[in-house]
Structure 1
Amino acid sequence: MNSDNTWSALRKDVYIYTDGGCHGNPGPGAWAALLRWQGQEKGFSGFDPQTTNNRMELMAAIHGLGQLKRPMTVHLYSDSQYVVKGMTSYIADWRCNNWQTAVKKKIKNLDLWQELDRLNQKHHVTWHWVRGHDGHLENEYVDGLVQKTIKTHLDKATSSSHVIL
């Protein structure tokens, strides 16, 4: 694996695959992303002890795009219609409506939508929706990474709560 400096040095298209999920909704959750370019791959994930599925889906895209150090052409794949439709159908209107819906309602997860919008404007991103749990290799990988991350953190919490002094 090359150093992180390699990510910003290459100007070829970057492919990002993302997923997020929770055990319970809300509940403990995780996000994961896989970045691929020129045959190189970098997978990573994060955990939140109390969150929602939608927040984790947004965090996956934010962290995936956040790895890129300079403007890139990106193909981002997500099984979340919430994220893909938000970025392709709604975000421009939300921005024009002072970050409110067309009926002047507050946008859920506004902090994350604004950060994702900032990153999206920095790059040339094409958003792709993929059906989850349908054999899409990269989506299955990031889904597995989400589940592993949640399990690892829950196992740590369980084992530390049973310590007898």
Structure 2
Amino acid sequence: MMYREIVIYTDGGCLGNPGPGGWAYVLKADGIFEKEASGNERDTTNNRMELTAVIEALKASQALGAQSISLNTDSQYVKNGITSWIKKWKVNGWRTAAKEPVKNKEYWVELDRLNANLPVQWNWVKGHAGVEGNERCDQLVRMAMDALA
């Protein structure tokens, strides 16, 4: 089945940085299919969890098929990284403007691959601002982190 539109919310978090972390996404397809998923890692960073949430959500979307995907993240790091910074990183051999290696390169490579093959529109939403999908992801992330305690 091909869906017209998939709407995704993602979030990631960490207790300490590094420390135990969690990621989550909420996915809705044409208002008729919904999926939530989350996971955790014992020793990770906030940025890795934000990236993992997006990667896992896009993998799930890929399996569903869609004419458009609206991905909502409260991470400026993720949104700016995939829509802007990554172009320069790739040209510069995965180095930042300061000539340092890009952190979390393996995550960015996977996200870039998924993004290139899917019709994704990237949106930033303010965290903890009452946006329903984002608030639900935050709850799932907290539960995932609590499961490690």
Please tell me the TM-score bracket, short chain as reference.
over 0.9
Which amino acid in 2 is paired with 1:26?
P
Q: How many Å apart are 1:29 and its aligned residue?
A: 0.3
Cα RMSD of the aligned pairs, angstroms, is: 1.2
CA change 1:143–1:131 in 2 (3 A) is same
Higher relative contact order (CA 8 A, sep 6+): 2
Structure ID, larger Rg? 1
Q: Which segments of 5 or more consecutive residues in structure 2 lack a partner in the other structure?
A: none
Quote how far apart the aligned CAs of 1:87 are.
Answer: 1.0
Instruction: Give the secondary structure class of the aligned counterpart of 1:12.
Output: strand
From 56, 59, 64, give the equivalent of 2:57.
Answer: 64
Of 81-90 and 96-105, deviating more is 96-105
| Match of residue 87 from structure 1 | 82
Corresponding position of 2:73: 78
What percentage of residue pairs aligned between the two structures are identical?
Answer: 47
Letter in 2 for 1:25: N
Q: Supply the distance in 1 between the matched residues of 2:9 and 2:40 (Cα, whole angstroms).
A: 17
Aligned to 1:161: none
The structure 2 residue matched to 1:121, chosen from 102, 105, 116, is: 116
Query: Any conservation in 1 of the 2:94–2:102 contact (CA below 8 Å)?
Result: yes
Worse overlay, 65-74 or 141-150: 65-74
Larger CA deviation: 87-96 vs 132-141:
87-96
Greater strand content: 2
Aligned length: 146
Q: Which runs of 4+ in 1 moved over 6 A?
A: none
CA distance in 2, matches of 1:71, 1:106: 34
Tell me, what secondary structure is at the counterpart of 1:128?
Answer: strand
5+ residue gaps, structure 1, are 1-8, 155-165
- When the two structures are superposed, what TM-score results if normalisation uses the length of structure 2? 0.93
Residue aligning to 1:96: 91
